[in-house]
Homo-oligomer: A and B are copies of this chain.
Amino acid sequence: MKKTRDVYVIGVGMTKFARHPDRNFISLGEEAMRAALADAGIGYEAIETAFCGHVMQGGTAGQKILDKIGRTGIPIANVENACASGTTAFRSAWASVAFGMNDVALALGFEKMGRGPIKMSLGEETPPENQPPMMPFIFARIFEEHSALYGTTREQMALVSVKNHDNGALNPRAQYQKPVTIEEVLNSREIVGPLTLLMCCPTGAGAAAAIVCTEDVARTVKAEPIRIVASAFQSEKHADPDHPLTGITEINQRTANLAYEMAGLKPDDIDVIELHDCFAIAEIIHYENLGLCKRGEGGKFIEEGMPKLGGKVAVSPSGGLLSKGHPLGATGVAQVFEIVTQLRGKADQRQVKGAKIGLTHCQGFGGATGVHIFAKE
């Protein structure tokens, strides 16, 4: 484990996740950035470098946002790792402070998406025009594999969606703020095989920002600083495309274990988690990958209500990707917004009581997984 400086989050900001038909990514990013600066109580001139995570907003998108608030000439880089683009930005900001390059860094994540499944490619240069919805296909296959091995059911997937919509209903920034029933989830439109619409995260638009800094700087600001006790960030090994469960298990478990090792903590120590539930089956598998339960017992874990608000460990009190929404580049930073808000005890109706340790988990399929652990001092 390399020796690093302690790094703190001192400011977070986030727009509501929604369709936002009348706003562009610049307007959304500006709102999130201004909110994070206001939260930290510092001016933009204090920011020494910025990392901007997005997938499909075009060239120099981050600069276009930062220009709205006053470009000071600081180094800016746009980063991309599919659905982990935001966590890549946050990780980069953490690294720049942890390793002594900067004292204050900004992570910004944003995306304005269109409707319908994402056009993407895992190997070819350009996805075909008539491409079927690739990610739901892969996660349907992952469900089939997990179900064959461990008996995981569609009803268990539906329970994940019910929990996350219950949580989202308590979050004024969630794209969907309405509880759903098991029956509604099971009977919603079929997307691919076992996966229904309410088991898939929506597309949308939104932005989130987080400001990180050294301990010295953190002591000078008005906001309650939250310490980052682990930053683990890994890319996938080569995986068998016919058995996607193997690959998704390997990368996420490896990254989570690295984070626990870095923090000197065990899964049982975590009070609140924001988890990358792009599909309901992903959440079940990630209970296992994050060590919240034994391998194969993810379905039972949700059935027994363990990850609910008030359960053994609150998973995605924000509503997660399924209910809060998933504007790709925004997600990883929005997870930080939620955990910092929870650890500060400011999450209102969805507050996890007495939360002291939080974790964010974000996977960009084919890109990278980032796991960060945070502690209230």
Contacts and interface: CB of A to CB of B under 8 A. Distances in A.
By DSSP majority rule, is chain A's interface helix, strand, loop, or mixed? Answer: loop
A29 to B, nearest CB: 11
A148 to B, nearest CB: 26
Contacts of A233: 75
A154 interface: no
Interface residues of A, number: 54
B67 A238 contact: yes
Contacts of A320: none
Interface string A59-92: 1100110110011111111111110000010001
A192 to B, nearest CB: 20
B237 A71 contact: yes
A73 B233 CA distance: 10
A73 B123 contact: no
A126 B57 CA distance: 8
A367 interface: yes
Nearest to A100: B99
A332 interface: no
A126 B61 CA distance: 11
Given A82-B60, A125-B24, A126-B58, A77 B368 contact: yes
A53 to B, nearest CB: 10
Interface of A: 2, 24-26, 55-60, 63-64, 66-67, 70-82, 88, 92, 95-96, 99-101, 112, 120-126, 233-238, 251, 254, 364, 366-368
